[in-house]
Structure 1
Amino acid sequence: MRLAFAVTAIILPALPTANFAQGKGVRLWNLTTATMTGFQLSPAGQNNWGPNQTLNDKDKELDHDERLKLIGVEPGRYDAKVSYSGDRQCIVRDLDVRPDAIIQVADKDLKECTN
């Protein structure tokens, strides 16, 4: 009995837990020079925008050089709608999102900006 307990005490901590088995998920890294107030994804070319991911941040926006875990985003090709204060919006086309990827968005990636 003592041997079984000792073996269990040694083996269990070495086994990966569910958190270790899963990756970090898809994350966004704001490398633009402004604070994002909105970040929405759509399957590439469809203009079917999903929820505003910046609302998942503690202060509801994403500062320059800040990262954010994106919720409910599966690997695939996406367009992104990026919003800033003052109603400025820009599109980033054809992002290749891979499992546990970090999506980097910089000023040079912003196209079709309004306002």
Structure 2
Amino acid sequence: MIMDSRRFAVNLIPDTLPEIVAAFASKGDSEEQFRAAGTWSTSESGMPILGEAVAAFSCKVDNWANTKTHAVFFGMVEEVWLRPEASPLIYARKSLHRVEPLHAA
């Protein structure tokens, strides 16, 4: 799909919607599986943008590398959407975590 279109999107998931991560982490490629989790729109370049995303990037493939199990794509960002009031989820040490602000000691 990415190889054909030479485009992809990156959506940073907010901490209020961990169920979206579950939809993307499960096997299957049904478009309904993804559309059921979140509010989606389409960018000018045709990429899926999550309305609730902390940030989203629509990219054009610049280069890629194949590994034993994956293809890694490098892209030029063409469009950006930001929701600075939202907080992202991160995946680390085999689980999801909220990002908390750092406070001076």
Q: TM-score, normalised by structure 1?
A: 0.22
Rg larger in structure: 1
Identify, as 1 or 2, the structure richer in helix.
Answer: 1
Q: TM-score, normalised by structure 2?
A: 0.24
